[in-house]
Structure 1
């Protein structure tokens, strides 16, 4: 989910979507689980 400013709203992503996002920016996929725990 991208806003008009080009920023991604992480709150609007599912865990699989977040894993794909982290993979696309060169981060490890497990970071998605870490972030999910922090924000939910």
Structure 2
């Protein structure tokens, strides 16, 4: 587990990862689409 210097730093890292996970990373279970694409019905 990573040690963060502050709560602010931890929140920023978590926020960045959540954006990556939901908006950039394709998910096999979603037909290799991102959760954002599926949620908003995008057919990319």
Return the TM-score normalized by structure 2.
Answer: 0.28
- The structure whose residues are more often helix, as a share, is 2
Q: Comparing both chains, which one has the higher relative contact order based on Cα–Cα distances under 8 Å and sequence gaps of 6 or more?
A: 1
Larger Rg, first or second structure (1 or 2)? 2
